[in-house]
Amino acid sequence: MDDIPSPQPAFAVAADTSWATDRPNTLKSDDLFAIFGRFGDMEADAEGLYHRDTRHLSKLAITLDGGRPRMLSASVSMDNATLVCDLACPAPWPNLDMGDHGNEILLRRETFLWRDTRHDLLAVTNWSSRQQRVALSIIFAADFADLFEIRGTARAAHGTMQAPECGDEDVTLGCLGLDGVLRRTRLSFVPRPKAVTGSRADYDLALAPGETRRLTIAITCGTALDPAAAFLPARHAARRHRQRLRHGVATLATGNPIADGALRRSRDDLIMLTTATAQGPYPYAGVPWFSTAFGRDAIITALEVLWVAPALARGVLGYLAATQATAVDVASDAEPGKILHEARDGEMARRGEVPFRRYYGSVDATPLFVMLAGAYLDRTGDVEFVRGIWPNITAALGWIDRFGDADGDGFVEYGRKSKDGLVNQGWKDSRDSIFHEDGALAEGPIALCEVQGYVFAAKQAAARVAAALGLDARAVALDAEAHALRERFDDAFWDAEMGFYVLALDGAKRPCRVLASNAGHALFAGIALPERAGPVAARLMAPAFFSGWGIRTVAQGQPRYNPMSYHNGSVWPHDNALIGMGLARYGRRADAARLFDLLLAASGWEERSRLPELFCGLTRGVGKAPTAYPVACAPQAWAAGALPALLDACLGLTFDPARAAVTLTAPVLPSGLERLLLTNLAVGDQRVTVSVSRNTDGSVAAAG
């Protein structure tokens, strides 16, 4: 289990079954998500309905005449909104003279989530030529298990299950947790069933030939259960909400159906993952295991799609400013000014059985927060919003200089304060992801290569914000600090023999001389000296790193390299996107275009053209799909943002919101695209259209 996402065995994601071949259907709405089995039922393993890290429904199965109907088809709609399942069974009184009397009763199930409620429409149709009486039963249960328990963390004690509260047309299940919170699930049935108990609702349906009867179920989760909206009004509200979110995102059309499908999938996955918070829209990291607020993931996602969806960045900045640490708390790795790593609301987090209630064990989220603030200002010109979070920006800068650089050497390091916290606190947070050239694990405090780049970019971003706010002296000082860091970084992290940046410095300031993709983030952040960009890019695009599907996290031949590991040889779409943005920053847009082409090709092998969180780093074979990583999340927010980010890198877009102008610098198009039409692109108070096309001589022209 050395390659599991969490560095602690207690927080592992169980990988008994590979989702590569048996990936479940999933739906999400705000803090509610669902994992379905093949039949649309919930019965096995991790299947269920989850609300705020608790499984509020562990079983929901439909039987007809006491048996399970046969699956005909099941699919999630293209916009991720609805799961539709068609099932069939023989009629109780079959027409024996029919050639196919096994498919006389049809059950169509339509399921969607809205806010804190799962809605189901069951339509039962009698396709026989005889009157039929069909017994339909809805069988259910709720175990109120914590998400981390389902992931494999053992618990010594559990909460107290409450006696079911049964009415004529509803039933409420509950559990009083060890944290003192009463969590409840209410199932409401329309029309009224013949009978309702604490585990089932029964109907006796009389159906004439060709007749359809419709039943609805509303399953509401939470602590205070408000009445659920009826099926049709809830469906209309959910559709209007998606339309509003879609309207806020620029539309990308290429004329290439594969690319258009993958880009639509990116957009719709991000819409599904986006959760409404008091501060605005916030992309949860991924379904199912990371369906919550993560600081690093959300910031990187917002940076990836900032050019097409700037409102997302504002929501992320607002939420993270509101949850910024204000005091030292060893148990949560919190320090004043530090930006949130992860927030959880389940019983185990509330009780401290896992450290993630509100956890700050991330060394990079804080400089990334400042980077995003500057990038958001550049993109939108929204000075007043940035003025409002300037105290949070200065607090983040204070954390960088004081707590982040506790030993005063000019570099930001991490070392967990709590024994239950994360051992490694960069984006590669597996236990064995930071090591030396002999394979020995690095001992902290650890200064990561990419984090110094983020700090450099954060100081530059803060300088731009300060200048926009009229704080000229502060802007000059921050810019000077950034340039001084750049020089120190080159002296300490550049390895002339390797022709590459080292992975990290350990607690003794010894360099981790490992060829890792982290160096590509130095290009993304702009800390790399211009003369270093060429050698770094050449290494990253060479076979040791380059799998044929993208750049590996660790190059072949390095100690601990394993293409099937989580962080030591796999390929992560978001990692490639940030590297591609860095390559473009140093004038290598053709390399960024190549990464786009390869990730687009990889998406074509994936279910619904959806890039997963990661895939294995095995070398690409002719006519063979990428090798799946067993428990990779899909959808995953920063994977969904990868293709749009790389397209932005190819185009070289800059925005002038004051003039509602867009500039493209030396744009290129990926090889599979001959044109690109951007519509509904927000620039200042205007919506603009940009057209990019390839000329007959291979050059690229743009018009707006």
Q: pLDDT digits over 73-85, tens only?
A: 999 998 899 999 9
Which residue among 477, 506, 529 closes a domain? 529
pLDDT at 485 over 70: yes
* Whether residue 236 is found in the same domain as residue 349: no
pLDDT given for residue 13 in this prediction: 52
Tell which residue, 401, 21, 353, has the closest CA to residue 178.
353
Per-residue pLDDT tens over the stretch 378-412? 999 999 999 999 999 999 999 999 999 999 999 99
What is the Cα–Cα distance from 349 to 357, expressed in whole angstroms? 5
Is residue 517 a contact partner of residue 523, using CB atoms and an 8 Å limit?
Answer: no
Enclosing H/E stretch for 247:
helix 231-247
Lowest-pLDDT choice from 47-61, 386-400, 598-612: 598-612
Identify whether 637 is part of a domain: no
DSSP letter at 607 equals: G
The one-letter amino acid at 275: T
Is residue 88 a contact partner of residue 103, using CB atoms and an 8 Å limit?
Answer: yes
Which residue among 180, 207, 240 closes a domain? 240
Structure token pair of residue 404 = 């982040």
Question: Looking only at Cα atoms, what is the longest distance across the chain?
Answer: 91
* Whether residue 210 is found in the same domain as residue 329: no
* Whether residue 101 is found in the same domain as residue 225: yes
What lies within 8 Å, CB to CB, of 376 at 6+ separation is 302, 306, 310, 313, 314, 317, 382, 385, 386
What is the Cα–Cα distance from 464 to 379, expressed in whole angstroms? 12
Is residue 653 a contact partner of residue 666, using CB atoms and an 8 Å limit?
Answer: no
pLDDT at 440 over 90: yes
pLDDT at 225 over 60: yes
Side-chain-side CA neighbours of 622 within 13 Å: the count stands at: 0
Q: Residue 132: beta bridge partners? A: 207
What is the Cα–Cα distance from 667 to 582, expressed in whole angstroms? 15
* Whether residue 105 is found in the same domain as residue 225: yes
pLDDT given for residue 22 in this prediction: 60
Q: Percentage of the chain with pLDDT > 70?
A: 95
* Whether residue 161 is found in the same domain as residue 38: yes
Our CA dihedral for 526, 532, 537, 538, rounded to 10 degrees, sits at 180
What is the Cα–Cα distance from 193 to 319, expressed in whole angstroms? 44
What is the Cα–Cα distance from 249 to 484, expressed in whole angstroms? 38
Q: Is 14 exposed, middle or buried (CB count within 10 Å of its CB: 0-12, 13-18, 19+)?
A: middle
Average of per-residue pLDDT across 187-209: 97
Q: Is 606 exposed, middle or buried (CB count within 10 Å of its CB: 0-12, 13-18, 19+)?
A: buried
pLDDT given for residue 382 in this prediction: 97
pLDDT given for residue 7 in this prediction: 36
Per-residue pLDDT tens over the stretch 178-189? 999 999 999 999
* Whether residue 230 is found in the same domain as residue 331: no
- How would DSSP label each residue in 417-459? SSTTS-S--SS--STTSSB-TTSPBPPSSBEEHHHHHHHHHHH
What is the Cα–Cα distance from 526 to 547, expressed in whole angstroms? 25
State the residue range of the domain holding 108.
9-240
* Whether residue 228 is found in the same domain as residue 340: no
Identify whether 380 is part of a domain: yes
Per-residue pLDDT tens over the stretch 90-125? 888 766 555 556 689 999 999 999 999 999 999 999
Lowest-pLDDT choice from 88-102, 358-372, 413-427: 88-102
Cβ atoms within 10 Å of 652's Cβ, excluding its own: 18
pLDDT at 596 over 70: yes
Q: Is the peptide bond before 543 cis (omega within 30 degrees of 0)?
A: no
CATH number of the domain within which 447 lies: 1.50.10.10
Identify whether 353 is part of a domain: yes
Tell which residue, 265, 282, 264, has the closest CA to residue 273.
282
Per-residue pLDDT tens over the stretch 636-687? 999 999 999 999 999 999 999 999 999 999 999 999 899 999 999 999 999 9
Answer whether 0.85 is exceeded by the pTM: yes
pLDDT at 556 over 70: yes
Structure token pair of residue 493 = 């992290």
* Whether residue 344 is found in the same domain as residue 236: no
Identify whether 168 is part of a domain: yes
* Whether residue 48 is found in the same domain as residue 182: yes
Structure token pair of residue 61 = 């199965």
CATH number of the domain within which 149 lies: 2.70.98.40
Tell me the chain's radius of gyration from C-alpha atoms: 27
Identify whether 212 is part of a domain: yes
Per-residue pLDDT tens over the stretch 23-42? 689 999 999 999 998 878 99
The one-letter amino acid at 382: D
Tell which residue, 135, 134, 139, has the closest CA to residue 200.
139
Identify whether 704 is part of a domain: no
What is the Cα–Cα distance from 591 to 670, expressed in whole angstroms? 9
Q: Measuring CA to CA, how many Å separate 562 from each of 512, 557, 558, 567, 704?
A: 18, 9, 9, 9, 47
Instruction: Give me the chain's average pLDDT, please.
Output: 93
* Whether residue 233 is found in the same domain as residue 342: no
* Whether residue 328 is found in the same domain as residue 437: yes
DSSP 3-state assignment of 217? strand
Average of per-residue pLDDT across 620-648: 94
Average of per-residue pLDDT across 139-161: 94
Is residue 566 a contact partner of residue 553, using CB atoms and an 8 Å limit?
Answer: no
Q: Residue 681: beta bridge partners? A: 688
Which residue among 503, 529, 555 closes a domain? 529
* Whether residue 192 is found in the same domain as residue 336: no
pLDDT given for residue 18 in this prediction: 47
Torsion sign over Cα 310, 312, 313, 318: positive
Identify whether 400 is part of a domain: yes
Count of the separate structural domains present in the chain: 2
DSSP letter at 229 equals: P
Identify whether 278 is part of a domain: no
pLDDT given for residue 11 in this prediction: 53
The gap from C-alpha 234 to its chain's centroid, in whole angstroms, comes to 25
Average of per-residue pLDDT across 544-549: 96
Torsion sign over Cα 494, 498, 503, 507: negative
Beta strands in 314-416 (DSSP E): 342-343, 358-359
